């Protein structure tokens, strides 16, 4: 008679499971590695030791719970093996508990279907995850061409479904264009106008909801003016702020249509503002912290501004900026109109960030800046070395995908 083995409280069903497709999930704060790079290095060791064929990983930092609150950032890793492996063995290699792994080859599904679903879930493009935040393909790290894989998968989605996803806000306008382009240039040409119309209609609806919420809450829009020399980290700070607070952001371009592409992002970064970039009245309208019904100044389409935080980065401080503007009347368009709209002035220097206010500084009534707090600058470009050695330069091919060599070979055959 066979003797039964008594399971202990440490035994878990996942310890005995085997699968060719696994999903690993862990919060970043509980990750048994110093960072994502260290995790990826350990995953790569599975390529030889455990027969790992493909892997893809992503950090989810925009997921929300049922109360619409951002949940803690966590990593998802899809692991696809050449044959079924023990969850317990993989967990040991990654210094993890087997409970952090999920078998993706469910009963009735082939390993191929399980792998496809697991990979598409990373960017929330499965049928059951379209109501979640849609992550960019570029956010995924993989040992294969993940973008091409997604493109092929999205070709299976109908054109009408893509429009519905866009209308429901489950994909962005850019993502909808990418999905439609994956179906072919002719299909994209037939639907490009519809994509634009649906995106505009969705933004209009979002704006009306946002406007109601802002008026009811009477929330003040925060306006921050950041000035300093090039390389002091002005723009880097604004982008880092948006990412840390899990807010979408838009940074103006240096073209003659700086607001082109703005689509309701909650953090607006007017980058490297010069006196000739905007008319003074347009700038005052955009920066008014108590007016919600305002639009961008665009060449072809003035979009509703839904920003709750507005950053201006400039080599000019506000007073010097005002004095450098051409064609304004000091009697009608005075400096205090601009100064009153700014809630915080930051002077970025290479070592420090100064919080300042602009007020009467001299007996003669002239204006100047008074520093009220000093912080260490962790964003200055002076702290980052862009140099590299000749040996590192020679390693450039090892960092590329090899596509360049392939394309050069094809071109040489045509010559």
Instruction: Report the alpha-carbon distance of residue 146 to residue 115 in Å, rounded.
Output: 13
Element (H, E) at 286: helix 280-287
Helix residue spans in 141-184 (DSSP H): 146-154, 159-167, 173-181
pTM: 0.62
Domains of the chain: 18-155 (3.40.1310.30), 159-215 (no CATH), 220-376 (3.40.50)
Which of 100, 95, 92 has the alpha carbon at shortest distance from 75?
Answer: 100
The sign of the CA dihedral 192, 198, 204, 210 is negative
Tell me the two tokens of residue 407.
């394309």
**What residues form DSSP beta bridges with 130?**
none
pLDDT tens track, the chain, 415 positions: 333 334 334 444 444 589 999 999 999 999 999 999 999 999 999 999 999 999 999 999 988 887 778 889 999 999 999 999 999 999 999 999 999 999 998 766 688 889 999 999 999 988 778 778 889 999 999 999 999 999 888 777 889 988 998 898 778 888 889 889 888 899 999 999 999 999 999 999 999 999 999 999 999 999 999 999 999 999 999 999 998 888 889 999 876 788 888 889 999 999 999 998 898 999 999 999 999 999 887 666 788 999 999 999 999 999 999 999 877 766 678 889 999 999 999 999 999 999 999 886 665 567 889 999 999 999 987 545 567 778 777 776 655 444 444 333 333 333 3
Where on the phi/psi map is residue 124: left (φ > 0), alpha (ψ -120 to 50), or beta? left
pLDDT value of position 397? 63
Tokens of 231: 């390389």
Report in angstroms the alpha-carbon separations of 389 from 332, 395, 400: 57, 10, 18
Using a 10 angstrom Cβ sphere, with 0-12 exposed, 13-18 middle and 19 or more buried, the burial of residue 86 is middle
Task: Give me the pLDDT at residue 36, please.
Answer: 94
Q: Are 280 and 333 in contact (CB under 8 A)?
A: yes
As a whole number of angstroms, the distance between CA 335 and CA 136 comes to: 42
- pLDDT value of residue 394: 76
Q: What is the pLDDT at residue 255?
A: 67
The residue written with tokens 């604004």 in the block is 238
Q: 49: which DSSP letter?
A: H
Spatial distance between the Cα atoms of 61 and 135, rounded to a whole number of angstroms: 10
């Amino acid at each position: 008679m066979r003797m039964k083995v008594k399971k202990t409280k440490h035994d878990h069903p996942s310890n005995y499971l085997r699968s060719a497709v696994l999903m690993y999930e862990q919060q970043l704060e509980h990750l048994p590695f110093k960072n994502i790079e260290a995790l990826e290095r350990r995953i790569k060791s599975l390529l030889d030791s455990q027969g790992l064929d493909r892997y893809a990983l992503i950090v989810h930092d925009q997921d929300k719970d049922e109360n619409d609150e951002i949940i803690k950032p966590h990593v998802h890793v899809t692991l696809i093996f050449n044959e079924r492996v023990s969850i317990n063995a993989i967990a040991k290699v990654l210094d993890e508990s087997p409970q952090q792994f999920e078998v993706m080859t469910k009963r009735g599904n082939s390993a191929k279907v399980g792998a496809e679903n697991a990979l598409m879930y990373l960017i929330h493009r499965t049928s059951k995850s379209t109501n979640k935040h849609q992550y960019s393909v570029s956010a995924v790290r993989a040992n294969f061409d993940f973008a091409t894989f997604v493109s092929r998968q999205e070709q299976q989605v109908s054109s009408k479904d893509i429009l519905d996803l866009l209308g429901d806000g489950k994909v962005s306008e850019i993502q909808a264009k990418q999905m439609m382009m994956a179906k072919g240039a002719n299909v994209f040409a037939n639907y490009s106008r519809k994509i634009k119309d649906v995106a505009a209609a969705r933004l209009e609806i979002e704006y009306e909801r946002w406007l109601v919420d802002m008026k009811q809450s009477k929330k003040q829009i925060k306006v921050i003016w950041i000035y300093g020399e090039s390389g002091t980290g002005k723009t880097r700070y604004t982008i880092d702020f948006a990412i840390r607070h899990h807010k979408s952001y838009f940074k103006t371009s240096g073209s003659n249509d700086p607001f082109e592409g703005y689509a309701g992002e909650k953090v607006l970064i007017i980058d490297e503002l010069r006196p000739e970039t905007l008319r003074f009245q347009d700038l005052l309208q955009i920066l008014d912290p108590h007016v919600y019904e305002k639009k961008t100044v665009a060449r072809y389409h003035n979009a509703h501004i839904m920003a709750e935080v507005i950053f201006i980065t400039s080599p000019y401080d506000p007073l010097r900026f005002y004095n450098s503007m051409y064609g304004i009347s000091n009697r009608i368009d005075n400096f205090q109109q601009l100064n009153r709209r700014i809630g915080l002035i930051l002077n970025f220097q290479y070592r420090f960030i100064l919080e300042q206010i602009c007020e009467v500084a001299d007996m003669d009534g002239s204006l100047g800046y008074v520093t009220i707090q000093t912080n260490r600058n962790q964003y200055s470009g002076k702290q980052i070395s862009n140099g590299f050695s000749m040996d590192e330069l020679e390693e450039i091919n090892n960092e590329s995908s090899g596509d360049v060599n392939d394309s050069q070979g094809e071109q040489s055959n045509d010559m």
